[in-house]
Amino acid sequence: MSDKLQYARRARDMAAIFSKLSDDILSLQNVYFDRGYNDGGADELIDTFLVANRGYLSQMRNDL
């Protein structure tokens, strides 16, 4: 297989991956704000996450 063909196929594959990621990120952002998970929202995710995972986050910091 030629280098040009390999390059073109890889570029096509990466474009498809980025396109899907872009769609997923947009959906995630919409859900995040629609459900009030944002800072100051009705059901903040930030504080809940930090409190619920404090031990895990501390361990991660120690491991790094």
Domain ranges of the chain: 3-63
Residue 5 has a pLDDT of 95
pLDDT of residue 38: 82
Per-residue confidence (pLDDT) for residue 8, from 0 to 100:
96
**Residue 27's closest CA among 15, 19, 16?**
19
| Spatial distance between the Cα atoms of 31 and 14, rounded to a whole number of angstroms | 26
Q: What angle do CA 40, 58, 49 make, to 5 degrees?
A: 25
Instruction: Give the contacts of 32 (CB within 8 A, at least 6 positions apart).
Output: 38, 45
What integer pLDDT is reported at residue 1 of this predicted model? 72
For residue range 16-46, list pLDDT tens digits in order: 999 999 999 988 888 888 888 888 888 887 7
